[in-house]
Structure 1
């Protein structure tokens, strides 16, 4: 009978097949302390070294801007522009007491006629001004000090006052009879009323232009008069036709012909005789550069309709609706912009002999204006065939047309007849418009700074803003003092500085850089480092809690 008693090997199990369930030995206190010190050192490096470096290298620098002051300028709370025009009265044929009384009476009549409180005429006695001074004084002094000189001239052949405004000098001659001088006890004078009405008429279009300008801005700085619908429409057409003010303009005079003639034109002598004197008068307002070109075999665009022959006028005609396609921009060498300022183009086109004379069908005109671009003049030779060259005499009527077109494109008012008075009006209008434009841009920059906290603001922007505000204060002060040329210069600098600040490259580059881009950049770099550091910190924290409970 077999023995059922198990062997000793069966009772205890075989050592070769028994599983080994022993784990690693528990860490010693020294090992735990070393691990905690390593973790603490890592966290110390991250907190006291890594985070400050990351914060310093990723923080967007934002220079301090006077946001409240910028907002006040944009809302019109700082500057209330006024336009005090000094009108000097020269009365050498009457006594000083009579002159003072006439000026006082005329001033009261002017104040009663004026509906625009910010634009007012102030009469002064021209004691230190002579005729030679007004004729030869440079433009800056005339614009800053005296807007107009009124010369009283006694005559026996004028029962009622008559006036003569000089075309090329800011002088108004008033012819009156000796019996028209008001007595010292008279409070009303027909002569004073006539002078007041004439002065109001001379500056009426300037008041309308400034009224239209003030009505187009976001804030109403002063009380203005009301424009009639016709005058408002005229002001709107002028603003859409003329160029925006620029410190520098470039003038390009081009001669285009579809044939080989004319192959020469006396453009230099024509420019020096007609254009250069005008640009010299405009130099206190803007600078101008000039170039010219001649292009032969310059044909119309293939899509431009051929001129149609009109048997009634015996001429070839163009429809007004087709004039917009007259310029062959693809083949004619017309650069849209040369230099820093905008380019004003003037084109003289000499048609082919078989299409001469060439006119506009609706009005029979040979010239037209392209708003904010330039002017076009068609030269129809009297003989019907194109001459080999155009002399200065041939170009004289052309240059007169180009001169009128240039004045229209620059926004010069149509009245009065005195060119210096119209130029001084343009100075005041541009000074006011630049002040309003710079103030609006300051407000836009302040709103941009608040709405986009991630964009950097370098110190150059802060300097430009400070310079803008300083020049705006100076320009507004010059306006109040009647120094309009100086006001234009400061307003021009303010506009340039605020534009430079608003379009700062470093700011524009960070406008569309959201926080998601930062996460996408840093997460692949910080993730492999942060995961083991955090997991080991959590494990050590749990061990510390278990040890504390035990």
Structure 2
């Protein structure tokens, strides 16, 4: 047995693990510098680049101004209508006094401060100013100011003519009806005031209903309406189309048989519809097309007409009128043209179902809200071609239906005055709509901080606010045509800003999606860096305690 060999049964030797050699200060600082360099790159370069490339650009918007417009704090719309008093046979002093007393009577009658009538005295032309028309404007403080006004700025001219009274737009009077200079009122002034109030009563009701349904309504500005007027105006608003710069009109001839196969629609439109469209052109533009559809059958769900012996006619049930138009098979596309499509259907029934009327009313035409109108042409013997004279009743019906669908008021009788009223109503509605859209956009951008706001949106908002100011000022000055144009631009720019494609797309990419995308990428990088930094901090702390 060797001397160094352990005897049997002896305990084995214990293996002692050698400790690593102590780190030099140079290696410690090298490791610290490596870790520090990684964190420096991450903090000073990686995070800024990541933030810059992933941050959603949000252009600055005038949120306070947008909310103020939506809440009606900036613009209080008013509608001053200038009424010219033309009294050439009256002395100037008497005409001025009549104007003042009439204005006082008007102010006493008016309960709607936003819509007020301002009387102007039209002076007769003199040799020195024969090419100019001077008017005198009496404001609410009874101060008279002079200035030049265009003819389109005058809503109505009242001519005072001596003689007996007849029910026309002219006002006839007798010499003994002229108020004395010391009187504060007169029957003639009260009569003129009542007549003017009656002429513009429908317009006041429409504007009051429009203001009451908008955010700009203020105490004392909105005129109270009766329940019947409120229901009637609400029905009229529901029936008419929303304002659009361009409308597309489609005139369609439908028949269940082979005749009539043609119609003189071009000449009929030129004679009966084109003059109306020309009158409406300052408010909206119109495009027109026509079509003929033979063998146009009713839908299977439509209840067939029944013969009524008392009326001696085929009848349609009133509740079935909504299903009269076979939208599935009749070529009536609602997306033709640039703007909304207004359909006018002329239906010529077969001879074995003529005449065809509505049972409850006995009429042959009806209006479909926000769609168009239908006219049944009961011509008796069918002809292969409908002449212009045959189409006259239908074209006149379509013209009335078109005005109803566009929101033209029913009073007064004068069409130019009704269109002037429509101009003011449309200008106010567009101003309110654009203001409401600005408020919705401001609330959207404040609620969703992650959506992008490109510069185009900020530019559109600035343009909207600029034209809203213009429209409001032009309404106050009584320039309603230019106010409508400014309000139209404001509405278009507001809609453009609200429905910006690049902004709307961000609504459907919330923060949770961002976490799901970045976590798998940044996790493998962040864990080693964080754990190494924590380990080095602990090691440094131990060395500090040991020292």
TM-score, normalized by the shorter chain, greater than 0.5: yes
Q: Counterpart in 2 of 1:403?
A: 399
Q: Counterpart in 2 of 1:90?
A: 86
Structure 1 residues 13, 500: closer, same or farther in 2, change over 3 A? farther
- Post-superposition offset of 1:535: 1.9
Matched residue SS, 1:162: coil
- Post-superposition offset of 1:176: 2.3
Q: Counterpart in 2 of 1:207?
A: 204
**Do residues 151 (structure 1) and 164 (structure 2) align?**
no
Matched residue SS, 1:8: coil
Q: Counterpart in 1 of 2:317?
A: 319
**Do residues 533 (structure 1) and 529 (structure 2) align?**
yes
Q: 1 CA distance for matches of 2:7 and 2:463?
A: 102
- String of CA shifts for 1:422-449, please: whole Å, max 9, x gaps: 1111111111111111111111111111
Contact 1:163 1:175 in 2 (8 A): no
**Do residues 329 (structure 1) and 327 (structure 2) align?**
yes
Structure 1 residues 256, 47: closer, same or farther in 2, change over 3 A? same
Q: Counterpart in 2 of 1:456?
A: 452
- Structure 2, unmatched stretches of 5+, are 134-148
- Post-superposition offset of 1:411: 0.7
- Post-superposition offset of 1:28: 3.7
- Name which of 263, 285, 288 aligns with 1:287: 285
Q: 1 CA distance for matches of 2:469 and 2:297?
A: 53
- Post-superposition offset of 1:12: 12
**Do residues 510 (structure 1) and 506 (structure 2) align?**
yes
Q: Counterpart in 2 of 1:379?
A: 377
Q: Counterpart in 2 of 1:432?
A: 428
Contact 1:162 1:176 in 2 (8 A): no
- Name which of 237, 258, 263 aligns with 1:265: 263
Q: 2 CA distance for matches of 1:182 and 1:531?
A: 97
- Name which of 34, 37, 52 aligns with 1:41: 37
Q: Counterpart in 2 of 1:479?
A: 475
Matched residue SS, 2:241: coil
Q: Counterpart in 1 of 2:176?
A: 179
- Post-superposition offset of 1:230: 1.5
Q: 1 CA distance for matches of 2:351 and 2:451?
A: 63
Q: Counterpart in 1 of 2:136?
A: none
Contact 2:237 2:407 in 1 (8 A): yes
RMSD over equivalenced CA pairs, Å:
2.3
Q: 1 CA distance for matches of 2:196 and 2:403?
A: 23
- String of CA shifts for 1:473-497, please: whole Å, max 9, x gaps: 1111011111111111111111111
TM-score by structure 1 length?
Answer: 0.91
- Post-superposition offset of 1:122: 0.8
Matched residue SS, 2:167: strand
Q: 2 CA distance for matches of 1:412 and 1:242?
A: 9
- Name which of 350, 354, 357 aligns with 1:356: 354
Q: 2 CA distance for matches of 1:129 and 1:536?
A: 98
Matched residue SS, 2:217: coil
- Post-superposition offset of 1:29: 3.4
Matched residue SS, 2:366: strand
- Where in structure 2 are the equivalents of 1:411-426 lying within 5 Å? 411-426=407-422
Structure 1 residues 499, 446: closer, same or farther in 2, change over 3 A? same
- Structure 1, unmatched stretches of 5+, are 135-139, 165-171
Q: 2 CA distance for matches of 1:33 and 1:226?
A: 85
- Name which of 2, 10, 24 aligns with 2:6: 10
Matched residue SS, 2:5: helix
- Where in structure 2 are the equivalents of 1:121-136 lying within 5 Å? 121-127=117-123
Contact 1:152 1:175 in 2 (8 A): yes
Paired residue total? 525
**Do residues 190 (structure 1) and 187 (structure 2) align?**
yes
**Do residues 304 (structure 1) and 302 (structure 2) align?**
yes
Structure 1 residues 323, 534: closer, same or farther in 2, change over 3 A? same
Q: 1 CA distance for matches of 2:19 and 2:377?
A: 108
Contact 2:88 2:124 in 1 (8 A): no
TM-score by structure 2 length?
Answer: 0.92
Contact 2:216 2:432 in 1 (8 A): no
- String of CA shifts for 1:96-116, please: whole Å, max 9, x gaps: 222212211211111111111
Contact 2:113 2:221 in 1 (8 A): yes
- Post-superposition offset of 1:82: 0.8
- Post-superposition offset of 1:452: 1.1
- Name which of 106, 109, 112 aligns with 1:116: 112
- Where in structure 2 are the equivalents of 1:333-344 lying within 5 Å? 333-344=331-342
- Post-superposition offset of 1:328: 0.5
- Name which of 495, 509, 520 aligns with 1:499: 495
- Post-superposition offset of 1:184: 2.6
Contact 1:73 1:79 in 2 (8 A): yes
Contact 2:346 2:377 in 1 (8 A): yes
Q: 2 CA distance for matches of 1:200 and 1:428?
A: 17
- Name which of 455, 467, 470 aligns with 2:466: 470
Contact 1:262 1:388 in 2 (8 A): yes
Contact 1:154 1:177 in 2 (8 A): yes
